[in-house]
Amino acid sequence: MHIISVINLKGGVGKTTIALNLAATLAEQGHRVVLIDADPQRSATQWAQQGPRAGGPGPLPMAVHPLQ
């Protein structure tokens, strides 16, 4: 098992965007992926709940879970 963390103290630097795109790319390549949304704003979780991907045929290819 590998763990990849996208971390930066500054807001607005693209952490959520990078994490979602990296997770989706790895999942589409056949890797088992779970994205844990540890951000208090829960942006990744909200994006995942919005339905189909902008450029794709269906929902995100991996699970997204908020850290509670």
For the cut 80, the answer to whether the pLDDT of residue 56 exceeds it is: no
Determine the pLDDT at residue 55: 57
| 25-55 pLDDT per residue, tens | 999 999 999 999 999 899 988 888 776 665 5
Determine the pLDDT at residue 30: 93
Residue-wise DSSP of the chain? --------SSSSSSHHHHHHHHHHHHHHTT---EEEE--TT-HHHHHHTT-S-SSSSSS-SSEEEE--
**What does the alpha-carbon distance between residue 61 and residue 32 come to, in Å, rounded to a whole number?**
10
Determine the pLDDT at residue 48: 82
Determine the pLDDT at residue 60: 77
Determine the pLDDT at residue 62: 82
